[in-house]
Amino acid sequence: MLWSLRSRLSVCGVTTVLVVDDDFMVAKLHSRYVSVMDGFTVVGVAHNGADALRAAERLRPDLVLLDIYLPDMDGIDVLRALRTAEEQDTSRPSTDALFITAARDAGVIRAALRAGALHYLIKPFNRSALQEQLRHVAALRTRLDELGEARQEDVDQIFGTRPPGSRELPKGLAAPTADLVERTLRARPEGLSASECAEAGTLSRVSARRYLEYFAGTGRAEVTLRYGGTGRPERRYRWIG
């Protein structure tokens, strides 16, 4: 039954999430942040490492939100155990991990990266910070699913690296959201408006417009004007790389 549920959710493009935190109220809060987002559903909650591993085995989530500080083992060991289980069972779907923790030690962050975490959020943070990372995870999973043979620019974007001489994002713009807007543009080669981009990417129109204008200003998107019945031109954007 659990397998069939996961299959149905995967077909519908829903990212299934397991929330792991020793604090019951924090786990409940993070679950609520996830549940209000389109395209995401919480399939389980665990409050220690052993329960997290059992839940991951049973539910096979796409993503686990994982705390470092757990009462029986740390979150990095949980992730390592997940990776070992995937290596031993090649038919098992892979589970991505996003750490959500108060641990600030650089050694811990390095260990999380080496264990295979996609990202690392330091508590406290606001809801939008988590939701932005969730959008990034969904976009990354989709991109990897769609890739056949990767180009270097695909690899650079997946790993978050920037080639020498590439531009840093202006202040106020975030890389995960920029990636989301880029994917939206690439998926619509005929072009789209800021409103259409906002709807497709679950963003505000103002936010979508800022990123579209950034891509246009850096020569990665072109802008055309389309005149409608109102007499006012609509700006439409098309990705040109």
Q: What's the CA gap between 104 and 87, in Å, rounded?
A: 29
**Rounded distance between C-alpha atoms, residue 81 and residue 50, angstroms:** 10
Instruction: Read off the pLDDT of residues 113-159 as tens digits, 9 standing for 90 and up.
Output: 899 898 899 888 888 889 888 888 887 877 777 777 777 666 666 66
Residues of the chain with pLDDT under 70: 1-12, 152-168, 228-231, 241
CA–CA separation, 151 and 97 (whole Å): 25
What is the reported pLDDT for 136? 82
Place of tokens 């040109």: 240
Quick one: tokens of 116? 């295979």
pLDDT of residue 138: 83
- Of 196, 195, 203, give the one whose Cα is nearest residue 179: 203
Q: What is the residue type of 8?
A: R
**What pLDDT score was predicted for residue 160?**
62
> What is the token pair recorded at 91?
């038919």
Radius of gyration of the chain (CA): 19
- pLDDT score for 220: 84
What's the mean pLDDT when you consider all of the chain? 85
Q: Contact 184/200 with Cβ under 8 angstroms? A: yes
Give the amino acid at 75.
Answer: G
Number of other CB atoms surrounding residue 135 within 10 Å: 23
| Residues near 116 by beta carbon (within 8 Å), at least 6 away in sequence | 79, 83, 97
The answer to whether the bond into 124 is cis (omega within 30° of 0) is yes
The model's pLDDT over 151-181, given as tens digits with 9 standing for 90+, comes to 766 666 666 654 443 456 788 888 888 888 9
